[in-house]
Every structure is written in structure tokens, then in C-alpha cells.
Structure 1
Amino acid sequence: MGESASTKNFPHIAICPSAGIGHLVPFLRLASMLSSSECKVTLVTIQPTLSIAETNQISTFLSSHPHVNSLDIPLQCQPPLISTNANNASTTTSKGSGPDPFMLRYDAVSRSAHLLTHHLSTLSPPPSAVFSDIMLVSGFNQALADLGIPNYVLITTSTRFFSLTTYLLLEGATQDGTMPKLELNNSIDEEVEIPPGLATVPKSSIPPPFFNPNHIFTKMLASNSLALYKVNGIVFNSFNSFEFETISALQERKVLSNLPPIFPIGPLKPFVNEKQGVYPYTKWLDEQPDKSVLYISFGSRTAMNQEQIQELGVGLEKSGVRFLWVIKTTTVDKDEKVDSVDELLGEGFLDRTKERGIVVKEWVDQEVILDHPAVGGFVTQCGWNSVMEAAQRGMPVLAWPQHGDQKVNAWVIQKAGLGVWEKEWGWVGQKLVKAEVIADKIKEVMNSEELRRTASKVGEEAGKTWDANNGGSSNRMLNNLISSIESGTNLKS
């Protein structure tokens, strides 16, 4: 006979995100899913957090998951090794206004990773496995191996961007993590080939830091990517039907022959917040017709300049659609000032649009908004959490990538039929996208029955991945992953 629930030795999983709300959220969702699968879970958080949003999300999660333990670890590696000179292009924000706080934090976290294992060794019972962020891999691997603890990496981007970066960074990289310089050559439209099984990527979609081998982000990602060969498995917040070609290529070792097993278990399920409040914007949404509202948000890090914000505002006004618009003007929310929204958007905008739109300059519960029946479209910067949240709901998307992995993610969105992407808009601040063009794209997203049909199909496929009765792929992968950790056997993707 098998073990009863009272005698079975359930695995103890330590969850270790790095920094930023975009990295934190998928780890919290994974922690919730593992806890629901009867695993003992410890959430490891590096303190202090960089943003108010992170602090609030951690607090909300722990209050909603009383069975999840919390281990707070002070950040050890200060000051950073890299220069904080505002003129140093390798560390500055996209606006060049000073050092990018996220780059500084990733650098510090990455170099502190080996110190975290001491704290993990004090946990009781000892962890059966660790799920860590990619920025912790190079520091974690050997230290965890010495403790006999398997290390699995949760990737917080698309499988396509992961394939691009690992191929670019590792194909010619040296053992010290130095990557060969990626040349722009004659044309930014030149295509970069990834091994058989994957479509080429235009150089215009590759993050600008990758063209500078000395950029701190490039160096950090290269050194941590090199360490991926020694982890026990790589977990993705994606699903087979959404990125079929890329997932197949990874699992068949066509991208890199010696990667560990690949486990797509997305879309990661949102965790239930039992103390969820009632927000002013939900009351407003309750008064709007079904699928009539366009939701606009550029995520936790993207800050547009005022000129582009005003063009977007005029575009919304010209489009005639209802809208809920979240505005962000700083990279880190702790620096966000309570400026006059009316002044930011231009005199009279709020008065002219008050019958059909609202503007919010604060954190919002995005899942609550996307779940609301009044919302019928989503303008997003294509952060991967937002992509998966839209995919889960079959929400039509207007992709407006701003930096990092987001152009590659936009390609995935368009190919899957979830949304449209205007490639000519470029990176954030690269060009001023005019109101008339924005208005046309908004109307296309909100009025296209074909887009609504294909996006709905994506939502149906996302739901099937967790259908336990019909062999849902993500449900099966997660169960196999937990069973392998329980038994201590080698993983097979």
C-alpha cells in the first residue's frame, strides 16, 4: 500500500527570487502552486526590497498563505563593484539620468548568492530542492551541491528570449563568462540565426546591452547562463501551444545540446488574495459595457517621457474608446511623485475624457482588471507576466515593447494570435510615436473580430494546460517535477 497523507514525507521547497516585481510575481505564484500540492514551502526574500510593490506583494502573499514560511536575508554585497557614475553607459537607465537601480541590485544579488546558502542550511527540515532566479545560479550551484540540495531555475521570460540569449551568450562565450562582441554590421534589420527549429530574430529586437559585452547586465547574464548547464532543471512560465516550436527545440536539445531538462508549467496560476480590496477603478469598470474598455499599462519598470505620454493621451482621445490608463513616470515606485495628472497629460484632457476614461498613477491589481468583463483590450509593454496574464484570459493585446526581452515577447504574442505589434515604434524613447498612429492601432485591437477570435483561442488552450482530467501538459509537468523531487530521481522533461 502507498503512504497515507499523514505519513508521507512531502518535499520542502525553498523559493528564491532575486529583485524586481517582474521577477518576484512568478516565484510567488510557483510558491502558491507548490504549497497547494502539499509541499512545504519557504519563501526566501532578500531585504530590503527595491520597490514598494515588492514589499506589498510579499506581505499580501504571506498573509494569504499562512502555511508558507518566510526567511528574510539581508543583502550583503554593498556597494556594487560596477561604477555608479551617471555617465557610465553600462549602468545607466534608458534615459541616461543615472545608474539603473535594477542593474545595481541584480549585480549585488548575483554576487551575494553564495552567502545565501548558509541561511538555507539552517532550515528545518533541510530543503529537498531550491527554485532560484537566474541571477542567483552562478553563486548557488556549487554551494547547493556541497549541501546536497538540487537547484532548479525558474525563468521569468519567454522560451524564445531564453533561447536567443543562451545561444548568443553561450555559443562563443569563454569559461570566465566573457561573450564575443555582437556586431551591428551594416543594418539593424539583419537577422540573427538561432539553431534549426527556431525562426530568426532581427537585430533590432535584441536588447541594446547585448551589443556591449562590457555592459553589466550582459556580463551578469552571461556568467549565470554558463552555470545553467549544472542545474537540475529549467522551469518556464509558458505552455506548449503558445510557444510550440521553441519549447520543442529546447526539449530536443536543438538550441544547446547540454542544457538540463526543460519544464514548461505555465501559465502559472494566480494566487488567491483573500483580503482583496475594492478599488475605485473596479467600481468604474462595473458601470461600463462588456469588452468596451481598453486597459493601458507599461508594467512596473517602464517610465515614459511626458511628450510620449501626451501623444498617447491624444491617441486615446482620437480613438473614441473607453480606457483605464495606468501612468508611471519613474523607474522605481519609491521615487514616484504625486504630480498633477492633469498637468502631465495636458490641460483639459481629463475633463474631455471623463465620461469614458480614468487615469491612475498608482499600483493597480492587474489581474482584477484583466478579469473584469468590461475590459476588452490590453496595451502592454510585453513583460512576460503581463503576456501570460493576457494569454490566460484570451485578452486581445496591442504590443508596445519598451526594453529588454519585450520585442521578442511581442513577436511571440503576434505569432500566437494573441495580439498585434507595430515594429516601427521602436524602443522606449527611440522615436516619438504620434497620436494618429496610436489611435489607429487602438481601434484595430478593439474592433477586430478576427483578433478577438484568435485571442480567445489562446485563452482556451491556456486553460487546457491545467485540465488534469484530459492530460493537461503543464499539470502533468508540475506533477512529474514534484514526484521527481520527492523520490530524488533524475528529471526527464
Structure 2
Amino acid sequence: MEEKKESFKILMFPWLAHGHIFPYLELAKRLSTTHHFTMYLCSTTVNLDSIKSSILSEDDAAASVKLVELHMPSPPQLPPHLHTTSNLPSHLLLTLMKTFQESRSSFSDIMDSLKPDLVIFDVYQPWAPKIASSKGIPSIYFSTSGATALSFLHHLYTVGSGATFPFPAISLPDDDLPRRLALLAQNLKDADDDFAYGAMARSTDIVLSKSSRYVEKKYADYLSALSKKQIVCTGPLIAADAKKHDDSEIMKWLNGKTLDSTIYISFGSECFLSKKQIAEIAKGLDLCDANFLWVIRFPAEEAGTGIRLIEEELPAGFLERVKERGLVVSKWAPQTKILDHPSIGCFVSHCGRSSITESMYFGVPVIAMPMNVDQPMNAQLMVELGVGVEVEKDHENGVYVGEEVAKAMNRVMVEKNALYEGLRSRARRLCETMREKEGEEVNEVAQQLFKICAKNKK
């Protein structure tokens, strides 16, 4: 008779962004349903409500994860419905980060109540592992940025220059991202003067990375050498679609398009385009004859209020000119269902980590238009893997212009030459590899976490 393993309680504590929360939730679901863990996920009310409405109602696996409310102050400029980065106006981001730091006592109380065996924490709360350590509880850092960006940034921190990074496909100006990260550090309580504010150094034995080792192995190995921690890749952590057939307007529209004929354009839920940027992408679409589905997002207080209407943001006459081949929407769109649709031929993306992971998982080539933070490195990774092309910026002012957007779209979608066939075939092979290995990678995560919990119990 097989010996029953002890069950351990794990508390997941992601940063307040959907691009962080949903990978944490997906890992929690998999550890809870197939391994010996009781999983808790801690976040603010608005984020927990989002989880309940978008996932719990459709996915029984998510019901196994227990949701825990984090109590955070609500200054006048940051009411509870803005305790999330989703649709947050950009000028309030630092306010959200500062306010989040004031939730330490709430998190400490949660730990006293739950008495977890392990905490899995995110980069913007360096105080979380310190609280855990004070209570004799091990903690693990889970990076949603992926091994490529993290290894480059660690190299930059350690050496002082990206010029000597051993993988020349990845590069950034030496003073670009570090300057922004230093600014964030000023708004983090208990941040150590160490890489990632001390998150990696305080992580017990291992660091989790939202990566596939079979895609980013050399970067994970280099990061391990720099950090002197074992890097354990979680796999892609793509949520399974509960509804295989969706009768929404978007899916009905896509059903009317032919195989690989349509460009999907989206810059995520937290990257808001200016009117000028929207106009340049529209110009690119005017100069390209392919079908397209374009999702344009506005901050929460502007969406649906009449402050920014799609018709007013787009160039005059654009919607009429493209009505036979284009659909433009401003509401939430089911991105994984869209990428999985046979009519989608490529994905014009800002290259947020979740977006590039989903594009690889569904075998869709990327036309990269990175905006900030780790997105340029994600775009470079897609080019290195041979599953993406990057839109050239205007050399004089460093912005995207319509002619270059059109050039990239036409190269990939209209000319349908060897470039496209190569992108598509490599994307499909990458998709097959990631899907084949994802269960194996989650099993490795589970084994490592179990070992740490068991060791701490002795």
C-alpha cells in the first residue's frame, strides 16, 4: 500500500497585477489538485473578485484554491476598486505601490491565522519573506518575468554593464531599466541593497521562474550561477479554457475568417496607447490588406464614460474603410481563445511576459512592439527563437510609425514567403515542446516545495 504523504499549507502572495496574480493562481491550482498541498492566494478584494468572476465560475480546479483578503489602506486618490494595476491610470502606479507597503500588518495577521508551512512571494514586497522568517516559515521567490530578462538584469546588477552578457541576442541600454528599478526601490519598505531588492537572496534554496526550461535553459542556468540558487521553471502556466466554444461577437467574427488570415493586436490590460500611437497603428493597418482583430484598452475611469471613445481616438474614416476586414473592440477579450483560433496568423504584441508565453503556447508568431520594463528583452527572445519579428522604431525620435508597422505586418502576413513559413513552423514546434513538458515541470516544482516544507518540519 502506498504511503500517504503529509499535506502542507502554502500561502501565495503575488503583486497586485493580473500578469502576476494569474500565474500564481494557475500554479496554485495545479499544486492543489495534483499534489499534496493546501493552497491559499492572498490579494486585495478587487483582485479576488476578478478571480471569482473570470475563473471560479468556469473552472472547478480553481475552487480548490482558498482566497484570502489582504486589507490595504484606501487614501482618497486610491479607493478599493483601484487596489489593482488592471486599468489603473499610470499616474497612480507609485501611489498603489506605496499604499501596498502599508499592508504589512494585515499580511502578518494572515500568517498568524493560517500558520502556513511555506510562503511564495513576489518581488515588490521584500518585507514578506522577512515577516515569514521572523515566524520560522520558509519563503520562495516566484518571478513572473521569466529567466531571460531576470538573468540579463542580474548580470547588469553584478557586472555593471550589459555589454558582457554572454548571450548577445539580449541587450538594453545600461542606464535604462536600472534607473527605473532604482526609482521603485525608493517606494518599497525593507528593500535590501541587493538584486531584486533582496528577493532572490531571501528565497529559501530555490527560485521559481515562470519559464520553460526547454525554451530558456541557457538563461536559467546562467541566472542560477549568478544567484547561487537553483532556478526551478514552472512551465507556461496557461489556464485551460473551460468553454471550448464561445458564441461571443469576437469568436463569431473570427469563425468567418480563413486559416491563418487574421492579425490579432493587443497591448495587454495595463499598457494604454496614446492617441498618436493608436493613429500610427491604424496607419499601418491601412497600408496592410490583412484581416485584423484589434483590442484597444483604456484606463478604468475613461472606459465607457465618453472620455475616450474608440470612434474619436481612431483617425477619421478608419472604421468605415476597414469594416470588411477589421474588428476593433475596447472591452475585455478572451486572449487564449483568440490565440487558439485557427484564423489567427500572427500576434502584434507589446511582449508582456504573459502575452509572449501564450503566443508560444498556441504556436502563433509575434510582431513585437515592446513598450517598457522587460518587454524589449521579451521581444528579443522571440526574435532569437525564430518565432517573432520586431517593428523598427523611427531612428530620430524612437517611436513606432505606421509605415514600419505596415512593413512588419506585410512581411509576415501578406507576402506569405519563406519568412512566414519559418516563423509558423518554429512556433508550432515550440508549442509542441512546451505542452509536452509542462506537466513534468510542475511535478519538479512540487517535489522541490515538498522537500523544503518537510525539511522545515523536522
Match of 1:449 among 421, 445, 451: 421
**Aligned positions of 1:53-452 closer than 5 A:** 55-63=49-57, 64=59, 65-76=62-73, 100-113=91-104, 115-123=106-114, 126-136=115-125, 138-169=126-157, 171=158, 191-194=162-165, 197-199=166-168, 201-204=170-173, 208=176, 210-211=178-179, 215-216=183-184, 220=188, 224-232=196-204, 233-251=206-224, 253=225, 255-256=226-227, 258=228, 260-273=229-242, 278-330=247-299, 333-336=300-303, 337-338=305-306, 339-424=308-393, 431-446=398-413, 447=416, 448-452=420-424
The structural deviation recorded for 1:147 is 2.2
Q: Paired residue for 1:186?
A: none
Any idea what SS the aligned residue of 1:70 has?
strand
Q: Is 2:10 the counterpart of 1:19?
A: no
Unmatched segments (≥5 aa) in structure 1? 81-92, 173-181, 183-189
Query: 1: CA distance between counterparts of 2:26 and 2:313?
Result: 35
The equivalent of 1:3 in structure 2 is 3
Q: Does 1:460 align with 2:432?
A: yes
Change (3 A) 1:406 1:193: same
8 Å contact from structure 1 (residues 33, 269) kept in 2: no
C-alpha distance in structure 1 between counterparts of 2:412 and 2:145, whole Å: 24
* CA RMSD of superposed structures (Å): 3.1
Letter in 2 for 1:240: R
Q: 1:476-487, aligned counterparts within 5 Å?
A: 476-485=443-452, 487=454
Q: Percent identity?
A: 25
Once the two structures are TM-superposed, the CA of residue 482 in structure 1 deviates from its matched residue by: 4.2
Paired position in structure 2 for 1:90 = none
Aligned equivalents of 2:221, 2:181: Cα separation in 1? 30
* Local SS of the residue matching 1:420: strand
For 1:142 and 1:363, the matched residues in 2 are separated by 37
Of 415-424 and 478-487, more deviation after overlay is shown by 478-487
Native 8 Å contact 1:112 1:139 kept in 2: no
Does the 8 Å contact 1:158/1:237 carry over to 2? yes
Alpha-carbon offset, residue 275 of structure 1: 11
Contact 2:33 2:64 survives alignment (8 Å): no
Decide whether aligned partners of structure 1 residues 212 and 225 sit closer, same or farther in structure 2, where only a CA change above 3 A counts.
Answer: closer
> Cα gap change, 1:227/1:133 in structure 2, threshold over 3 Å: closer, same or farther?
closer
Preserved contact between residue 62 and residue 68 of structure 1 (Cα < 8 Å): no
Please name the residue that 2:80 is paired with: none
Call closer, same or farther: CA 1:424–1:238 in 2, change over 3 Å. same
Q: For the structure 1 residues 423 and 438, does the alpha-carbon distance in structure 2 shift closer, same or farther, using more than 3 Å as the test?
A: closer
Q: Tell me, yes or no, if the aligned pair for 1:20 and 1:102 is still in contact at 8 Å.
A: no
Alpha-carbon distance, 1:304 to partner:
1.5
**Deviation readout 1:45-104 (Å, 9 max, x if unpaired):** 12455xxxx742343333332222111121148699xxxxxxxxxxxx9xxxx8632232
The one-letter code of the counterpart of 2:55 is F
8 A Cα contact 2:368 2:390, kept in partner? yes
Q: Relative to structure 1, is the Cα distance of residues 222 and 464 closer, same or farther in structure 2, using a 3 angstrom cutoff? A: farther
2:38 corresponds to: 40
Deviation at 1:200, TM superposition (A): 7.3
Q: Deviations over 1:200-226 (max 9, x none)?
A: 75443x683523675235764765532
d(CA) in 1 for partners of 2:179 and 2:127?
Answer: 25
1:430 CA displacement: 5.5
**How far off its partner does 1:486 sit?**
5.2
- TM-score under structure 2 normalisation? 0.85
For 1:275 and 1:335, locate their aligned partners in 2 and report how far apart those are by CA, in whole Å: 32
1:32/1:271 contact within 8 Å kept: no
Distance 1:348-1:303 versus aligned 2 partners, 3 A rule: same
TM-score norm. by structure 1 comes to: 0.79
Query: Partner of 1:325: helix, strand, or coil?
Result: strand
> Residue type matched to 2:178 in 1?
F
Task: Please say which of residues 366-375 and 268-277 is displaced more in the overlay.
Answer: 268-277
Q: In the aligned structure 1, how far is the partner of 2:149 from the partner of 2:339?
A: 25
TM-aligned CA deviation for residue 419 of structure 1: 0.6
Distance 1:384 1:218 in 2: 25
Write 1 or 2 for the structure with the bigger share of helix: 2
**Secondary structure, aligned partner of 1:234:** strand
- Residue 266 of structure 1 aligns to a residue in which SS? coil
One-letter amino acid of the counterpart of residue 72, structure 2: L
